[in-house]
Structure 1
Amino acid sequence: MTLALVMSRALDGLEAPEVHVEVQLANGLPSFTLVGLADTEVKESRERVRAALQQSGFNFPHNKRITVNLAPADLPKESGRFDLPIALGILAAAGELDAARLAACEFAGELSLAGELRPVRGALALGLAALRGGAGRTLVLPALSACAAAQVPGLDVRSGRHLSEVVAALRPGEAADPLPVARPAPASAAGAATTPDLREVKGQAAAKRALEIAAAGAHSLLLVGPPGTGKSMLAQRLAGLLPPLADEEALASAALRGLTTAGADAERLAQRPVRCPHHTASAVALVGGGSPPRPGEISLAHGGLLFLDELPEFPRAALEALREPLETGRITISRAARQASFPARFQLVAAMNPCPCGWHGAAAATGRHCRCSPEAVARYQGKLSGPLLDRIDLQVDVRAAPAAELLALPDGEPSAAVAERAAAARERALTRQGEPNARLEAAAIDRHCALDDTATRFVRSAAETLGWSGRRLHRTLKVARTIADLAGAESVGTLHLAEALQLQRVLPG
C-alpha cells in the first residue's frame, strides 16, 4: 500500500469538522510535503513525526517522496493535533497497519520527539463533534485529553500514552494489543472549589435579597456603593446560591474552557464557571477574537458568572461589546478570513463606586465626605451607557454601615438556606416555562407575567413617571415574576412589582 487515509478533526470555533489525512509514499527525490491550508504549527509536525517514528523503533521512509494532504483544503488547520494521524498514515502507507482497524478510529494528538503523546486543546469539543457526526468511530486521544472526551456519554474513547501503544493496537493480526478505554477523571476534593458563605456578610439585607432574586431567576446584577461596604464579598457569594449545571450546559461550558488550555475541560465539569477579568481587560479579551478566533471571558463564563469589579473603569468599548451577548446569549466573531460563533449565556454581576472618590452619599455612616463635584459624579456614572444599564435587571444600592452597628450585627443567613429557596423558585419557573425568568422572550412575558388591572395601572404609572424603555419594562416584569416564584405565588401582583421597582433605580439610565 502506498496510499493511506486517517481520520482526524480540526477546530473551528467550538465546532470540530472532519479532516481526512491522506498520506502517499511515492518513488522520486526524497521529500516530505504537507499541503491543505496548514498553519506553521502543523507544518512543523514533519520534524516531530520524523523523530518520533525513529525514536519509537519504526522505519521512516527516507528514500520515498512523502506527500500529506489535509482535506478539505479550504479549512484552516492549526496546532499539533495532526502529529499522530500523520505518523499513523506514514506507517499505514508502508503497509505496517491494519486498514480496517485504522478506518474504525479517529485520531488526534501531538507527538514529542520521543514518541510520547501530548494533550491537545478542545478534546471535549472533538468528542461532542464525533458523537454528533454519527459515524460510530472510536476516538483515540492522548491520556489527559481522552479523560476529557470521555465525559461525552455514549462515545467510545481510547487513550494512549505513546506512539508505540497506538501502533500496537493497529497492527495486522489478532495479537494486537487494544488501547485502554478512557474514563472521565473523578472529581478530587483538592480540585473542588470552596465557595464563600453568605453567613459571613453582616447586614446588607437589601443586597442579600437581590442576590437571592438573581440566583432564582438568572438575572444580571449591579451593586453600587462606597468602598468597603461588601460589594465584592456579596458578588463572590452568588456562585454558592446557584443550582448545579445541567448535563448539556456542563458539557458546553467545559468544551469552551478546553479551547483555551489542553486538559482544562477535564476539570470541575459540574461546577459553574466564575470569571473575574481585571478592569484593564480589552474588548477582545472580553468577547474573544484573534486568528484563529478564540473565546473570550463572556464565553468562558457560559453557564456561570461573569464578575466585573470596578465596572466604570473598564474601557468603554469593552463594556459596549457586552450589549448583544447579554440579549442573545451568543457572540459571533467575524474576521477577514474566518468567522466563529461561541455560546455566551452568562450571568453578569458587577460592582462599582458611586463616584470617582467613592464616598458619595456615605457621610452619615462613615464621616467621609465626597470631594467630587456634581459634574464629576455625573461624568463617572455616565461611563455606563443607558443601553447597557437597560440590560442589567437589578441595580442595588449597597449602603455603608457605622462601625459600631457593624460590630453588633449577628451573622447572616447561611448560603445553603438561601440557595434552597432560590432553587425551589427556579424549579417553579422551569416547570412552568422550561427556562429561567431572565430568558423569557416578549411573547412568553405576556403569557407568564400577566397582570390584573391594579398591577397594570401601577406598572404603567411607574413606567411613564420614570421614562422606561420597552426593554426596561420587560425586565421589571421578569424580576417581578421571579419575586412571585420566591413567594410561591401563581400570578404577579402589585407587591411583587413594587419590590422589583425598588431594585432598579440606583443609577440614571
Structure 2
Amino acid sequence: MSFAQVLTRSVVGLHAPSVTVEVHLSQGMPALTIVGLAEAAVRESKDRVRSALINSDFDFPSRRLTINLAPADLPKDGSRLDLPIAIGILAASGQIDECVLDKFEFVGELALNGELRPISGALSVALAIKNTSEKRTLVVPKANAQEAARVSGVTVLGVDSLQALCRHLDVIGGISQNQADLIAPTTLDNHHVEATYQLDLSDVKGQHHARRALEIAAAGGHSLLFKGPPGSGKTLMASRLPGVLPPLTDNEALEVASIYSVAGVSCDYGVRPFRQVHHTVSGVALVGGGSRPKPGEISLAHKGVIFLDELPEFDKKVLEVLRQPIESKEIIVSRASGQVAFPADFQLIAAMNPCPCGYHGDGTNRCHCKADQVRRYQDKISGPLLDRIDLHIHVPALPLDDLQNAPQGESSAGVRLRVAKARQIALSRQGKANSELTPSEIDQLIKLGDSEQNLIKTAQARLNLSARSYHRILKVARTIADLAGVNEIGMAHVAEALSYRG
C-alpha cells in the first residue's frame, strides 16, 4: 500500500474543523513534501517525524513522500499534526494496518525519541468529535488525556509514545495477539464538585454600602466601579466576587476550560475565572488577537470576573476596546486569513482613586492636587465607557477605631445563597441574567408604577441620564427586587438603583 489517509483536527478559534492527512509514496529521489496551507510549525514536523520514526524502531521510507493536508484552503498551524503525519507514513509504507485507522482521530506533538508531548486545544477537539455523527476514538498525548476525557460520550486514549500506540493498533488489526499492549481508555469522574474559593467576603469589615453593591452585581451580572482612596478595600472586595457567584454549570465549566485549552493556559476546572489585569496591558492582550488569533483577557474571564485596578492608569485606547464586548458578550477578531469569534461573557469590576494622590474629597485635607489635575485624571475614562458600568460606588476610608471594633463580615457562603436564589428567579422569568436584557425585553418584563416612573423622570432630568443609563437603572432595580423576592418593582428598589449611578 503506497497511499493512506489519517483523520485529525486543526484548531481555529474555539472550533476544531476536521482535517484529513493524505500520504502518498511514489518512485523518485527520497524527499518529503507537505502541501495544504501548512504554516511553519507544521512544515517543520517532517524533521521531528523522521527522527521519531527511526528512534521508535520503524523504517523511514527511502522514497518520494507527498503529504497533503485537506481541505487545502484551511490554514493549519501548531505541532498537533505530528502524530497523524507519522501514522500516515507508517500506514502508507505498510508498517501498520491502515484498515483500523478510520476508527480513530489522532492529535499530538512528537519528540525526537518518539514520545508524545502535550498540545493546546485538546478539549476543543474532543467537543468537535462529540458533535459529529460518527463517534471515533480520540488519541491524544497522555498529558492531555484527562482534559479531553471531561467531554462525556467521547472515548479518549492517552498515549505516551508512538511505539505504544502502534502496538495498540496492531492488536486491533489482528497483527499482534498480545492483549497486554492494548491501551485502556481514559476515564474521568465528571460528577459536579463544588468549587472552593480561598478568599472569603468575611474578611471585609464595615463597608456595608459597597458590600451591598457587590451582592447586587453578583445577582444580576452587573458591571461595577469602586471609587475611593487607597487602602479603603476596593481590591479586597473585588477579589472576593467570584466566591459569591453561583457555581458554574457543567456546560459552562466545559466552555471555560476549552478557552483555556486553546490559549494553552492552565485553569482550575469548575472555578469561575478571576483575571486581574495590569494597567500596562495592550489592546491585543486584552481582547485577543495575533497573527493566529488567541483568546485575550476578556475571553479568559468568560463566565467570571475581569478586574481593572487603577482604571485611569490604563491607556485610553485600550479601555475603549471594552465598550463593544461589554454589551455583545463576544469579541470578533478579524485578520487577513479570516474572522474568529471568542466568547466574552465577563463581569467588569474596576477600581480607581478620585485623584492622582488618591485623597481628594476624603475630608482629611491630605490632597494637594489642583482642580485641573483632578479633572485631567478623571477625564482619562471616557463618558461612553462609564455609561456602560451599571454601579458606581464610593468606598470611603474607614477610621482605624471603626475597623478594629467592626464585627466579622458575613461569609461568602451566606451571600452566595441569596445571589443564587435571585439568579434562579431571573432565569425562571426570562432565561438570562438581568444585565443581559435587551431594550424590548425591558419594556416587556419591567413594569413601573406612576410613582416609580415619576422618580426616574425627575432623576433623568437632574442627572442628564442617557437612554442607556435609564435602561441600566431599570435592570439594577429589577435585580434588587429579585434579591428581595418580590415581583413588583417598588419605590425603594428604584431609589436604591438610582443611588448607584454616582
Match of 2:415 in 1: 418
- Aligned partners of 1:166 and 1:125: how far apart in 2? 22
- Aligned partners of 1:442 and 1:156: how far apart in 2? 45
Match of 1:498 in 2: 495
- Aligned partners of 2:150 and 2:92: how far apart in 1? 33
Match of 1:163 in 2: 162
CA deviation string 1:206-250 (max 9, x = no partner): 000001101111111110000000000010111110011112211
- Aligned partners of 2:251 and 2:372: how far apart in 1? 49
- Aligned partners of 2:271 and 2:215: how far apart in 1? 19
Match of 2:392 in 1: 395
1:256 equivalenced with 2:253 (yes/no): no
Question: Which piece of structure 1 moves more, 140-149 or 228-237?
Answer: 140-149
- Aligned partners of 1:78 and 1:195: how far apart in 2? 38
Match of 1:222 in 2: 225
Match of 1:278 in 2: 278
- Aligned partners of 1:207 and 1:231: how far apart in 2? 9
Match of 1:86 in 2: 85
1:360 equivalenced with 2:360 (yes/no): yes
Could you say what secondary structure the match of 2:356 adopts? coil
Deviation at 1:98, TM superposition (A): 2.6
1:174-323 superposed matches below 5 A: 175=177, 177-184=181-188, 194-261=197-264, 264=266, 267-323=267-323
Give the conservation status (yes or no) of the 8 Å contact 1:148–1:184: no
2:403 to 402, 406, 418: 406
- Aligned partners of 1:134 and 1:248: how far apart in 2? 20
1:99-114 superposed matches below 5 A: 99-114=98-113
Amino acid at match of 2:250: D
Amino acid at match of 1:118: R
Give the conservation status (yes or no) of the 8 Å contact 1:293–1:338: no
Could you say what secondary structure the match of 2:147 adopts? helix
1:47-196 superposed matches below 5 A: 47-61=47-61, 63-171=62-170, 172-173=173-174, 175=177, 177-184=181-188, 194-196=197-199
The total of aligned residue pairs comes to 497
Give the conservation status (yes or no) of the 8 Å contact 2:256–2:303: yes
Match of 1:483 in 2: 480
- Aligned partners of 2:301 and 2:189: how far apart in 1? 22
Could you say what secondary structure the match of 1:170 adopts? helix
1:376-387 superposed matches below 5 A: 376-387=373-384
Give the conservation status (yes or no) of the 8 Å contact 2:33–2:66: yes
Deviation at 1:261, TM superposition (A): 1.4
- Aligned partners of 1:178 and 1:482: how far apart in 2? 56
Could you say what secondary structure the match of 1:103 adopts? helix
- Aligned partners of 1:496 and 1:192: how far apart in 2? 32
Alignment RMSD? 1.8
Give the conservation status (yes or no) of the 8 Å contact 2:150–2:190: no
Deviation at 1:193, TM superposition (A): 5.9
Give the conservation status (yes or no) of the 8 Å contact 1:150–1:156: yes
Deviation at 1:444, TM superposition (A): 1.4
- Aligned partners of 2:277 and 2:338: how far apart in 1? 26
Deviation at 1:133, TM superposition (A): 2.6
2:445 to 445, 448, 452: 448
TM-score (norm 1): 0.95
Match of 1:10 in 2: 10
Give the conservation status (yes or no) of the 8 Å contact 1:312–1:383: yes
- Aligned partners of 1:124 and 1:283: how far apart in 2? 27
Could you say what secondary structure the match of 2:423 adopts? helix
Please list every run of 5 or more consecutive structure 1 residues that lacks an aligned counterpart in the other structure: none
- Aligned partners of 2:49 and 2:359: how far apart in 1? 63
Change (3 A) 1:338 1:119: same
Deviation at 1:377, TM superposition (A): 1.2
1:430 equivalenced with 2:433 (yes/no): no
% identical aligned pairs = 51
Give the conservation status (yes or no) of the 8 Å contact 2:195–2:247: no
CA deviation string 1:132-168 (max 9, x = no partner): 2322111111112121111112112111111012111
Deviation at 1:368, TM superposition (A): 4.6
- Aligned partners of 1:144 and 1:347: how far apart in 2? 32
Amino acid at match of 2:63: K
CA deviation string 1:460-495 (max 9, x = no partner): 221122111111111110000000001011111111
Please list every run of 5 or more consecutive structure 2 residues that lacks an aligned counterpart in the other structure: none
TM-score (norm 2): 0.96
- Aligned partners of 2:250 and 2:385: how far apart in 1? 31
Deviation at 1:180, TM superposition (A): 1.8
Give the conservation status (yes or no) of the 8 Å contact 1:442–1:474: yes
Amino acid at match of 2:213: A
1:325-336 superposed matches below 5 A: 325-336=325-336
Amino acid at match of 2:434: N
